[in-house]
Amino acid sequence: MRTRPTLSWSNPGPSLPRASTLTDVVPIVAEGGVLVLSGAGLSTESGIPDYRGEGGSLRKHTPMTYDEFTTSQAGRQRYWARSHVGWRTIARAHPNAGHHAVTRLAGKLSGVITQNVDGLHQAAGSPDVVELHGGLDRVICLDCKLLSPRIDLDRRLREANPDFAATTTEINPDGDVFLPEETVKDFVVVPCAECGGMLKPDVVFFGENVPRPRVEQCYELVDNARSLLVLGSSLTVMSGLRFVRRAATSGIPVVIINRGETRGDPHASLRVDLPLGKSLTELAEVVVG
C-alpha cells in the first residue's frame, strides 16, 4: 500500500523563540567553520516549491516511493512520464539570491550539505556540495550501476515518445509533476543503454535509505564544524534531523533560518524567521562585504 510521507509533527515542548533579525547570527558565521544544511525552502525563490511549507507540494502530491518504483511497471511509467516533463523545469531553474549568498560565504563555511536534488548550489558556484539525496541531473541503472547524464536520457525519451507533448505549470521538489492518467498510459520507458536494466534517477526516493558512506561523510562534516546553519528545511524527516541532533549533542551551536517552526527547534540555539534570499544576502554583505 502506498503511504503518504509525513506532512508534519507534534512539537512536544514550548516553541523556540524566533528572532526577526540577523544580529545574533552574524558573529557565529563570522567566526567561520560553518556547516550549511539546506532544504527545499532555499529553492522556492527559484520557482521550485517546498514539500511542507505553506502551499507545500505534499498537500496535493504523493512522491514516488522506492518500493513502488522497483515493483510496479505502471508506477515507473507514470513516474518517468511525469518526471520527463518536470525535468525540463528543473533544468531551466536558476540559482536565487540565497544560493548566491551561500557561495559568497564560502570562505566562512566548512561545507555544504543539501537535501535538495536540483543542483542549484553547484550552479551558483558553491564548491564540494554533498548532495544528501542525490541529484536529478544523473541517472543510475539499478542492474549494472552505470551512472549517466540525465540529458542523455531526456534525448532518448524524446526519441521514444515523439508525440508526447504534455506540459505543466506545477513542479515538485523531486522533479515530478501531475499529469492525468490518460496522458501517461502510452508513455514508453527506455532501459539502460548499456545492459537493458532498470533506470532510476540518482536520487533517494521516499522509503529508500541514504547510502551509508554519504551519511558518514556528513557526520564527519558535522563533527568538524564550529556551527551548523540550517537553511530552509522543516527537518521533518530523519535524514536531515539526525545531523542537527548530532551537532546539538556535541555542543555545536545550531542556527536555523526558516519560515515557520521546524522539528529541529528543540535542538537549536537560535531560529530566525525571515525570507531566505533577502536575509542571506544581508548576512553575506555584513560578514564578507
Q: Compute the distance between CA of residue 106 and CA of residue 92 in angstroms, rounded to an integer.
A: 25
Cα angle vertex 157, ends 150, 146, to 5°?
40
- Give the neighbor-by-neighbor strand order of the sheet with 254-257: 18-19, 270-272, 254-257, 227-231, 34-38, 109-114, 129-131
Catalytic residue among 61, 99, 133, 267: 133
Tell whether 53 is in a known binding site: yes
Tell whether 148 is in a known binding site: no
Tell whether 152 is in a known binding site: no
Q: What is each CA distance from 122 to 5, 7, 132, 148, in whole angstroms?
A: 27, 28, 14, 18
**3-class DSSP string for 205-257:** CECCCCCHHHHHHHHHHHHCCCEEEEECCCCCCHHHHHHHHHHHHCCCCEEEE
Tell whether 116 is in a known binding site: yes
Tell whether 41 is in a known binding site: yes
Q: Compute the distance between CA of residue 238 and CA of residue 225 in angstroms, rounded to an integer.
A: 20
Tell whether 4 is in a known binding site: no
Residues in contact with 113: Cβ distance below 8 Å, sequence separation at least 6, in sequence order: 35, 36, 37, 38, 129, 130, 132, 218, 221, 243
DSSP classification of residue 184? H
Tell whether 47 is in a known binding site: yes
Tell whether 250 is in a known binding site: no
- SS3 state at 141: strand
Tell whether 172 is in a known binding site: no
Tell whether 239 is in a known binding site: no
**3-class DSSP string for 25-54:** CHHHHHCCCEEEEECHHHHHHHCCCCCCCC
Tell whether 18 is in a known binding site: no
Tell whether 115 is in a known binding site: yes
Tell whether 233 is in a known binding site: yes
Is 133 known to be catalytic?
A: yes
Tell whether 54 is in a known binding site: yes
Q: Compute the distance between CA of residue 114 and CA of residue 120 in angstroms, rounded to an integer.
A: 10
Tell whether 247 is in a known binding site: no
Residues catalogued as catalytic: 133
Annotated binding-site members for NAD(+): 39-59, 115-118, 232-234, 258-260, 276
Annotated binding-site members: 39-59, 115-118, 141, 144, 192, 195, 232-234, 258-260, 276
Annotated binding-site members for Zn(2+): 141, 144, 192, 195
